Amino acid sequence: MARNWNDELTKMIDAMPPIKLAAMGSFPDGDLWAMKGVGEITNNELSAFARTFTEMLERNMPALQGDEVIFNGERYGVTWAEVTYPELGQHSGRMVGKGGNGGFFAMKMRLAVIVALFEGDIDSDKRLQTQKAVEMSTNWNDTLAKAMSGTPAIKLATMGSFPDGDRWAMKGEGEITGDCFIFNGEHYEVTSIELEEHSGRMVGKGGRGGFFAKRIRSAVIIAVFEGCVDSDGHLKTQTAIESIAEYMKFVGY
């Protein structure tokens, strides 16, 4: 099931009262995908913001005095920017600015950007709460935890880079190591493989169940489930992992 970005932004605003307006769009073009809250972040404003982030990447340095962006018709001075954020890969970054009666926090992923405007001082808890809410939208451990809570058959899940296999996140009972087709100490026999350009699926059986793996261009997600291959548990596991993969592809992985 594809994510509804307006719903995602609504949940973020409801969970964090300091956030008054939030938007999400493409990077580097800045095309607006979704917006929620009081006021408006226009497509032109988001496009200009994306260009500012691009310029910072190109000069490979943080914010300079005089850097500013416009959201909801108000000017915000950029106070700091981090153009690489190790937890999310080399193509990510964060930015904070102040203006009006508050400030903004923004996070850039490979092909997407999220901006949240908040009320309050930029060094206050309100900014930290806003930052946490935006960052949680790209927290892979939380993403796996949500998938598992909605799909009880999944007992263990992990995701990491492809083709290197560097682990980014893992949730559940046990541990998935780097050993090929050995998950949580159990050997699994591969029963089916589907390969497409820059993507693929793999299913295997072993122990008390099986595993489903999904590869996209630069990431792989693996879920170990209880129950037979082709059972309801397997199919629900596959649906949950495919949904995560679609989201990751959408933001550039």
Over residues 38-60, the pLDDT tens digits come to 999 999 999 999 988 887 767 66
Identify the pLDDT of residue 71: 95
- Would you call 58 helix, strand, or coil by DSSP? helix
Identify the pLDDT of residue 2: 44
What dotted CATH number matches 5-138?
3.30.450.30
Weakest mean pLDDT among 81-85, 117-121, 169-173: 81-85
Average pLDDT, the chain: 84
Q: Residue 1 — very low, low, confident or very high, per pLDDT cuts 50/70/90?
A: very low
Q: How far apart are CA 22 and CA 227, in angstroms?
A: 41
Q: Give CA torsion, residues 41, 44, 46, 52, to 10 deg.
A: -140
Q: Give CA torsion, residues 62, 21, 101, 52, to 10 deg.
A: 20
What is 141-250's CATH number, 3.30.9.10, 3.10.20.30, 3.30.450.30, 3.90.1150.10?
A: 3.30.450.30
Q: Tell me how far CA of residue 42 lies from CA of 22, 50, 62, in angstroms.
A: 11, 12, 25
Over residues 56-76, the pLDDT tens digits come to 767 665 555 568 899 999 999
What angle is formed at CA 237 by the lines to CA 247 and CA 203, rounded to 5 degrees?
100
Domains 5-138 and 141-250 share a fold: yes
Boundaries of every domain in the chain: 5-138, 141-250
Q: How far apart are CA 85 and CA 198, in angstroms?
A: 25
**Which contacts (CB < 8 Å, 24+ apart) does range 210-213 have?**
210/234, 211/183, 212/237, 212/238, 212/241, 213/241
Which of 206-244 are b and which e, b meaning 16 or more Cβ less than 10 Å from the residue's Cβ?
A: beebbbbbbbbebbbbbbbbbbebeeebbbbbbebbebb
Over residues 225-247, the pLDDT tens digits come to 999 988 999 999 999 999 888 87
